[in-house]
Amino acid sequence: MSPVCRFTIPASRDVEAIMDYLADNHNFDVAERFLGMIDNKCRRLATFPSMGRKRDELAPNIRSFPIYDYLIFYREIAAGIEVLRVVSGYRDLQDLFSQQDKN
């Protein structure tokens, strides 16, 4: 059985917002290629979860992996990985994760 790559609701919303941005500011093909890259990278991370950088300074047991200017934040689960967020690497990451703790 292949490892699972499960997206949380916030991560799904992140990807949707990025896709909308790319389609509006570039074109639909760029948005689709980016979605394909996210899909491929997440499958690879599910198979090799320790590939990403440990990000314990943001939250326990999470890792990140870059795709261009974006970061995939995920944690290892028994069946593979759970993607927590997909955000611009230029965001205030400390603030992003401290806000999540409040929700």
Report the CATH number at residue 91: 3.30.2310.20
| Residue 73 pLDDT | 98
Count the domains in the chain: 1
| Residue 8 pLDDT | 97
- What predicted TM-score, i.e. pTM, was given to this entire model? 0.91
Averaged over 20-38, what is the pLDDT? Answer: 96
Phi and psi for 24 in degrees, rounded to 5?
Answer: -70, -40
Tokens of 99: 């806000």
Q: Which amino acid is at 99?
A: Q
Closest C-alpha to 10, from 91, 85, 96 = 85
Asked if 72 and 52 count as a contact pair (C-beta separation under 8 A), the reply is yes
- The fraction of the chain above a pLDDT of 70, given in percent, is 95
Specify the range with the lowest mean pLDDT, choosing from 22-36, 54-68, 89-103: 89-103
| Residue 101 pLDDT | 58
Residues 32, 22: Cα–Cα separation, whole Å: 9
Domain with 78 in it? 4-102
